Structure 1
Amino acid sequence: MLPVALPDAVREALLAPLVDHHCHGVRRDDLSRAQFELLISESRVPAPPGTTHFDTPLGAAIRRWCAPVLDLDPHVAPAVYLARREELGAAEVNRRLLRAAGVVTFLVDTGLEAPDLLSAAEMARHGGAAADEIVRLEKIEQDIAESAAVAVDYMDSLAERLVARAARAVGLKSIIAYRCGLDFDPSRPSRGSVIAAANRRLSDPKERLVDPILLRHLLWTAVDVARERGLPIQFHTGYGDADLDLSRADPAQMTGFIRALQPLGVPVVLLHCYPYHRQAAYLSGVFPHVYVDVGLTLTHTAAGSARVLDELLELVPFHKQLFGSDCFGAAETCHLGALYFRRGLAEALAGRIESGEWAAADAARVAHMIGSGNARRVYRL
């Protein structure tokens, strides 16, 4: 359902199947209210006593737009919505909501693999779509750290594992923003410094990686693999959960690294970006290998998402923007990511057409590019 009247060609472009270039698995099991509420908030903790995470833009959006997909009236009470969810069962809820998103291909970040999450293949089956894998670098490193005996084994095994995983993936992803911030030294670390840091790492390998030297080594090892295989590297930037220091997640802080990758031809994809989406738009405009989305921002800003998309379009080249839902856990986040992308882009395009700034044909072409065409090109789908 689009919120504005548009020429037929633009409407058709907006309603065409999407490539969701960044998402995660959703839960396969039935969820209690407490579990569900944790999945619809980035705080990852319960709401204060006497309150609920349904009293958020996302919570209101679930009651408005997801309820009808489950055969309920819009705006039903949270208890009614959750009772219907339980009645249908997780498999049917996931099938309905994933298919309602109108996604033709899911690119799934498998770094959060867990028994209770659908795999990439299961996301495809439930959603009536195709699926490909995005390999999370830090998950590979964790596995290597827990199995390597000495620093040299760690370095060799890391490179070998990345090559093997990249062979069946369409992209790589880093969450270095969570581990040390995006204001990292962009240079490739020396072999000696990596060996010293790896020896420290192997003394306590179960801890998550936060050492800036090893994180930089991981990134540069991934760059080598990505360059060889023609893969893009995604980076979490901006909005995220409480583990993130938001002030260090501004993508402009990694300008030095972006500049270093330009002659190598490795595409850099900046995920989420908000509230730094204007900085991301600038980076995509001045660097030929940089791409952006606003990801989970659309789901969490909900009714306000049109303003975010409009601001992104102020500067971003139209061939540099991608759609990604960043859905995780609750299938509602997939449906709403797609819904608010379509509705927000519809409003942005309608304003440009009405003012005479754009022709309808241009608006339709841009909608196709952002919804699927750009992702097909960047990820070589």
Structure 2
Amino acid sequence: MAAEELRAVVEALRLVDHHVHGAATGELDRAGFDDGLTESAWPAPEGTTHLDSQLGFAVRRWCAPVLDLPPHTEPDAYLARRKELGWTEVTRRLLTAAGVGCFLVETGYRAQQILTPEQMAQTCGATAAEVVRLETVAEDVAADGVDAAGFADRFAAVLDERARRAVGLKSVIAYRHGLDFDPDPPGPGQVRAAAGRWLRRRQTGEERLADPVLLRHLLWTGVEHGLPLQFHVGFGDADLTLYRNDPSLMTGFLRRVQDRRVPVMLLHCYPYHRTAGYLAHVFPHVYCDVGLAVTYTGARSRAVVAETLEVAPFGKLLFSSDGWGPAELHHLGAVLWRRAVTAVLGEWVEWGEWSGADAVRVAQMVGSGNARRVYGLEEPP
């Protein structure tokens, strides 16, 4: 199979973005757009912007043509064109050009600022389903009013209702504590005591759930639903402590839930993507992706994709973009993944290491088939 044939097959794939957030609603000013292109909470050094990055250069190379601009157009011209078209048209163009057939949208982060799953689907003629964030459900339960004794039952009831409409659950315990958590489920007395401590802290303005006992309780309540359970791993904003986000720290938990037949989905994973690949290799219920990493590494994304394909079984790898906010992130997640997969697999075919048919099959598995199987999605017509 010639490189052009493989490229055509990969370009035609209707991807399943198995972990994504909504695109931003409303216009983004210069500062808002710049903030959307970094995991840092701080501005770029004086005289620079967050566009001075692999991600920023990828925006100017791959998103500019979608907005009728030449590749590598200057930032001011890009932002002026973005404003001229308006956010609705920019979002429609970028999401449509991404070629995603199904979005699995995690709705637990700043949901008021982004498109809903239904709006994401309508914008580009795709389908969508929801992934529910456990910590957000717990915070909603607390905000509605509950005492320590009733917290566990109320959380279980609300999660049960939310999970009926969802295809997966997600935890951000990596941010709130770290992946080096006690793998055992806490007892009822421990949960009541922890809920009491947290609810008292909420009265002083500390609304964010970070108690390690309650975080473990959320996980184990989620496990009971049997849905794929997503975990943020590795690269993210400054709220996390990176060395505590190594997925190997979860090994005890992975062993504990193995017999529950709950798929554990390791998201992003950089710089621990090789470790995540190992875990997917040795545990039957572990899967991984490099969604956020592909976007942020830009021109180096093919190296990250190649490293992910080293030991992870090909039936355990999934595509995601982790786009949130500027629709450029959703578009680049797809564009850079397609380019990386085409380059890496094409090279192996050229060297005679792989057949062309195998390259196509693996691209289809990672881009769509694995997600449809694990999440129980219908095949497209």
The TM-score normalised by the length of structure 1 is 0.96
Gaps of 5+ in 1: none
| Number of residue pairs the alignment of both structures matches | 374
For 1:379 and 1:96, locate their aligned partners in 2 and report how far apart those are by CA, in whole Å: 27
Post-superposition Cα deviations, 1:303-337, rounded to whole Å, max 9, x if no partner, equal 00000000010101000000000001000001100
Match of 1:49 among 46, 49, 53: 46
Match of 2:307? 311
Q: Distance in 1 between matches of 2:187 and 2:121?
A: 42
1:176 is matched with: 173
Specify the alignment match of 1:372 in structure 2. 368
TM alignment of 1:39-78, pairs within 5 A: 39-78=36-75
Give 1:74-93 correspondences, 5 Å limit: 74-93=71-90
Shift of 1:10: 6.2
1:39 to partner: Cα distance: 0.2
Alignment of 1:148-159 (within 5 A): 148-159=145-156
C-alpha displacement of 1:115: 2.7
Match of 1:257 among 246, 253, 263: 253
Q: Distance in 1 between matches of 2:85 and 2:73?
A: 16
1:329 aligns with 2:335: no
Instruction: For 1:7 and 1:363, locate their aligned partners in 2 and report how far apart those are by CA, in whole Å.
Output: 13
Partner of 2:221: 221
Q: Provide, for residues 51-78 of structure 1, a one-character-per-residue CA deviation record: whole Å limited to 9, x for no partner.
A: 1111100111111111110001111110
Q: Distance in 2 between matches of 1:210 and 1:275?
A: 24
Picking from 12, 15, 27, the partner of 2:12 is 15
Alignment of 1:280-299 (within 5 A): 280-299=276-295
Aligned with 1:135: secondary structure? strand
- Alignment equivalent of 2:231, drawn from 229, 232, 235: 235
Alignment of 1:177-196 (within 5 A): 177-196=174-193
* Contact persistence 2:6–2:346 (CA under 8 A): no
Task: Give the structure-2-normalised TM-score.
Answer: 0.96
Q: Which moved more, 1:347-356 or 1:330-339?
A: 347-356
Matched, 1:207 2:207: yes
- Once the two structures are TM-superposed, the CA of residue 190 in structure 1 deviates from its matched residue by 1.1
- Give the distance between the partners of 1:203 and 1:188, measured in 2 at CA: 23
Q: Is the 8 A contact 1:111 1:136 kept in 2?
A: yes
1:169-211 residue CA offsets vs partner (Å, 9 max, x unmatched): 0000000000100000000111111111111111123521111
Residues 58 and 300, structure 1, Cα contact 8 Å, conserved in 2: yes
Which whole-Å CA distance do the structure 1 matches of 2:4 and 2:80 have between them? 40
How many Å separate the matches in 1 of 2:336 and 2:308?
Answer: 14
Q: Tell me, yes or no, if the aligned pair for 2:54 and 2:297 is still in contact at 8 Å.
A: yes
* Equivalent position to 1:338, from 331, 334, 338: 334
The DSSP-based 3-state class of the residue aligned with 1:115 is helix
1:30-41 residue pairs with structure 2 within 5 A?
30-41=27-38
Aligned match of 2:137:
140
Q: CA deviation at 1:354?
A: 1.5
Q: Which amino acid aligns with 1:176?
A: I
Q: Which residue of 1 aligns with 2:114?
A: 117
Give the Cα separation in 2 of the matches to 1:310 and 1:339: 16
Contact 2:10–2:338 (CA<8 Å) still a contact in 1? no
Task: Determine the C-alpha separation between the residues in 1 that align with 2:146 and 2:111.
Answer: 26
| C-alpha contact 2:232 2:268 (8 A) present in aligned 1 | yes
Q: Which amino acid aligns with 1:137?
A: L
Match of 1:347 among 343, 346, 356: 343
Cα RMSD (Å)? 1.3
Gaps of 5+ in 2: none
